[in-house]
């Protein structure tokens, strides 16, 4: 079987291709080669054109876009009821005395009380808190987490008394 | 890279740059080898050799840029293309079995050799690529086992054993074609 296999797989002799066939082969492969080269040149050219167009488009889009507005946040204006931090406790108390609005008056007395307490002036703080509680009425008598220890104490005492 | 690889790279680059002389040189150097290889792959019938050779060369011209001399010789790259062309041809022939065989055999061969040629071609076309490569080296290129072992980077013993398996696979495929 090996002999038969050797025979089947032995190299076959073939006569050389006729001259005209060889010439034809050369002509058509050269044309193919030329076409391939032209195609690759066109591809490279197309790539450059595409890059140029993308660049132009990006530039054009950049010009069309409006300059971004800077988001400037202005500080909220202080409302009439808020007191600038530079005012002293006495000044706030004075404003509270001048105020006609009972709600604002109560608020200002409370702030004056807070300032006095910060300055360790317990007597003045006590005075201001008392006026705050009297002027503010039942709305301000509830104990709040933001209350100072003195105000909280006054509120609970008032409740107990009542 | 070997000297041959440098030479082939030079010719490839020149041909790609449009040098007709370089391409002519490549064709003239290898066209007979391609024809002989196709004859071997086709088991002996010759009428389609010219057409398949032309098709192989056209593909080679189209994809010359993909030929990498550092990975192998130009001739082996061409044989790869010709092998694929041959396989496609046999596959399409198998699909249209009713067509008469365009077989022209050597006058000395028996009439039954037509069938045998086709079976050999089909069996070679269906062999795994590494088996076909070894059989090609052994029978078509008539290389010694030592030479093949050196080219494949294996021992002679390993090549002998792979060759035995390749022969067995070929025989099995051939007998399947017969049945």
pTM over 0.95: no
Nearest CA in chain A to B47: A14
Average pLDDT over residues B14-22: 91
pLDDT tier at B152 (50, 70, 90 boundaries)?
confident
Which candidate from A1, A12, A21 shows the least CB-CB separation from B39? A12
CB within 8 A of B3, min separation 6: which ones? Answer: none
Q: With beta carbons under 8 A apart, name residues in chain A contacting B49.
A: 14
Query: The tokens 């060889």 sit on which residue?
Result: A22
Q: Please state, as a whole number, how many other Cβ atoms lie within 10 Å of the Cβ of residue A162.
A: 6
Chain B interface test: which of A9, A20, A28, A38 (most B C-beta within 10 Å)? A9
End-to-end CA distance of chain B: 47
pLDDT at residue number B38: 93
Exposure b/e, A33-52, CB count within 10 A at least 16 = b = beebbeeeeeeeeeeeeeee
* ipTM above threshold 0.90: no
Query: The tokens 């840029």 sit on which residue?
Result: B65
Q: Which CATH architecture has domain B1-110?
A: Orthogonal Bundle (1.10)
Q: What is the pLDDT of residues A10-65, one digit of tens each?
A: 888 888 778 888 888 888 898 988 888 888 889 899 999 999 999 999 888 887 77
Average pLDDT over residues A79-103: 77
Which candidate from A11, A12, A32 shows the least CB-CB separation from B62? A32
pLDDT at residue number A80: 47
Map out the domains of chain B as residue ranges.
Answer: 1-110, 127-179
Phi/psi zone of residue B68: left (φ > 0), alpha (ψ -120 to 50 degrees), beta? Answer: beta
pLDDT at residue number B115: 77
Which candidate from B27, B46, B167 shows the least CB-CB separation from A25? B27
């Amino acid at each position: 079987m090996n002999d038969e296999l050797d025979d089947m797989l032995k190299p076959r002799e073939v006569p050389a291709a006729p001259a005209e066939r060889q010439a034809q082969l050369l002509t058509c492969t050269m044309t193919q080669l030329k076409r391939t080269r032209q195609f690759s040149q066109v591809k490279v050219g197309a790539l450059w054109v595409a890059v140029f167009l993308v660049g132009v488009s990006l530039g054009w889009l950049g010009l069309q876009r409006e300059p971004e507005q800077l988001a400037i946040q202005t500080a909220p204006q202080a409302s009439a009821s808020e007191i600038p931090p530079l005012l002293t406790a006495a000044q706030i108390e004075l404003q509270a005395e001048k105020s006609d609005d009972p709600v604002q008056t109560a608020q200002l007395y409370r702030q004056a009380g807070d300032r006095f307490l910060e300055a360790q002036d317990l007597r003045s703080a006590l005075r201001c808190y008392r006026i705050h509680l009297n002027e503010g009425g039942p709305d301000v008598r509830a104990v709040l987490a933001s209350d100072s220890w003195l105000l909280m104490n006054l509120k609970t005492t008032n409740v107990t008394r009542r | 890279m070997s000297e041959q690889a440098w030479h082939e790279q030079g010719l490839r680059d020149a041909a790609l740059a449009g040098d007709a002389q370089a391409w002519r040189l490549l064709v003239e150097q290898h066209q007979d080898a391609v024809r002989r290889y196709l004859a071997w792959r086709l088991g002996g019938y010759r009428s389609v050799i010219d057409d398949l050779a032309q098709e192989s060369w056209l593909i080679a011209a189209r994809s010359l840029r993909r030929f990498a001399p550092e990975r192998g010789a130009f001739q082996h790259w061409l044989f790869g293309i010709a092998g694929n062309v041959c396989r496609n041809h046999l596959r399409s022939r198998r699909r249209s079995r009713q067509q008469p065989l365009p077989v022209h055999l050597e006058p000395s061969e028996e009439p039954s050799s037509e069938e045998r040629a086709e079976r050999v071609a089909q069996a070679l076309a269906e062999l795994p690529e590494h088996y076909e490569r070894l059989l090609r080296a052994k029978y078509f290129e008539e290389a010694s086992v030592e030479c093949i072992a050196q080219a494949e980077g294996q021992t002679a013993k390993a090549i002998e054993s792979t060759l035995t398996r390749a022969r067995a696979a070929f025989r099995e495929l051939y007998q399947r074609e017969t049945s």
